[in-house]
Amino acid sequence: MGNNQITYDPPYEAKVRKRASTDGMVYIPGGEFLMGTDSREGYPSDGEGPVRNVGVSSFYMDTYAVTNKQFEQFINETSYVTDAEKYGWSFVFNQFVSKETFKKVSQKVLQTPWWLVVNGAYWKQPEGLDSTVQGREDHPVVHISWNDAAAYANWAGKRLPTEAEWEFAARGNLEQQIYPWGNELNPNGEHRCNIWQGTFPTHNAAEDGFMGTAPAKYYPPNGFGLYQAAGNVWEWCSDWFTSNPSIPNTADPSGPEAGTSRVMRGGSYLCHESYCNRYRVAARTSNTPDSSTGNLGFRCVKDSR
């Protein structure tokens, strides 16, 4: 997909003044933390390191990713059209489409053939024309581009988190731990996130209870009260992506001034240690601002001032 600029019409601005609420959010006290990782588990080419001292101001953050129900309210009030709807298609994992839909698929991603180009796939039809979000109202909304996420955040009187804010909050007051809850993936044999178990990409044992998305408010929250800061769906950040984020000690960094792709954090239900071990707190990746997939959502933040 390309790179579109997002604009807002007057009704959005009117909504902002009415919807500046912290309901459903948790207060994140500001402070300094060690951002990134130098661990061998990391992907140096993703710019996960070096570890650096970063400060963030206090802010509020959604306790869980924006759900289908919440996004539908935004659509109903604004008649916003998502990027996936504009393009007429989005990327869907091959095991989720029906036989009828699969027969109509003519394109897949060469390097990752499990991603299918599915006509008619968007947030309300996540697996194509013959699918629905009925029964998944409390699951994270997916097929959301950065542009779509920014539009929702603006409507809600919020914004997307900076990458530093996202990592600070996801760590839940733990220093340099691998996951939002500590260093052990399944403490006491308990699943703490929705990721791939089995052999990727052919067999998902779904030992955590889910093949696709899980409800947004599921598994125990981290130390700040945030749900699923690892796995389930990737979450957009406001920053432009760079694979060389080395910065001096600084407060409230906001990333490069320009770029071609935006930062995504947290990993998703398709992450597996053999392929995409990016459900670690320090892990990061990116995508173009108008791209959408069946494992890509977001959550919002709001300044405390």
- Residue 108 in this model has a pLDDT that exceeds 90: no
Helices (H), 156-277: 163-171
3-state secondary structure of 89: strand
Q: For the residues 13-23, what does the mean pLDDT come to?
A: 63
List Cα–Cα distances, 250 to 21, 52, 159, in angstroms: 29, 9, 21
Whether the pTM exceeds 0.75: the reply is: yes
What are the extents of the domains in the chain? 10-16+23-68+133-303
- Could you give the CA distance from residue 212 to residue 126 in angstroms, rounded to a whole number? 11
Q: How many Cα atoms sit within 13 Å of 28 on the Cβ side?
A: 34
Instruction: Give the model's pLDDT for residue 15.
Output: 54
Q: What is the average pLDDT value for the chain, to the nearest integer?
A: 92
Q: For the residues 220-246, what does the mean pLDDT come to?
A: 95
Where b means 16+ CB within 10 Å and e means fewer, 128-162 reads beebebeebebbbbbbbbbbbbbbbbbbbbbbbbb
Helix (H) or strand (E) holding 59: strand 59-62
Residue 107, phi-psi category: left (phi > 0), alpha (psi -120 to 50), beta (remainder):
beta
Q: What angle do CA 155, 156, 162 make, to 5 degrees?
A: 100
- Could you give the CA distance from residue 230 to residue 186 in angstroms, rounded to a whole number? 13
Instruction: Give the model's pLDDT for residue 3.
Output: 39
- Could you give the CA distance from residue 62 to residue 23 in angstroms, rounded to a whole number? 8
DSSP code of 233? S
Ramachandran angles phi, psi of 85, nearest 5°: -70, -40
User: Which two tokens mark 147?
Assistant: 């542009």
164 touches 253 (CB < 8 A): yes
E-strand stretches of 84-220: 89-93, 115-119, 198-199, 203-204
- Residue 2 in this model has a pLDDT that exceeds 50: no
- Residue 110 in this model has a pLDDT that exceeds 90: no
Instruction: Give the model's pLDDT for residue 245.
Output: 75
Residue-wise pLDDT tens digits, 25-80: 999 999 999 999 999 888 888 999 999 999 999 999 999 999 999 999 999 999 99
Task: Name the residue with tokens 């097929």.
Answer: 143
Residue-wise pLDDT tens digits, 249-293: 678 999 999 999 999 999 999 999 988 899 999 999 999 999 999
Q: Cβ-count burial of 78 within 10 angstroms (0-12 exposed, 13-18 middle, 19+ buried)?
A: middle
Residues, the chain, total? 305
CATH number for region 10-16+23-68+133-303: 3.90.1580.10
Instruction: Give the model's pLDDT for residue 94.
Output: 96
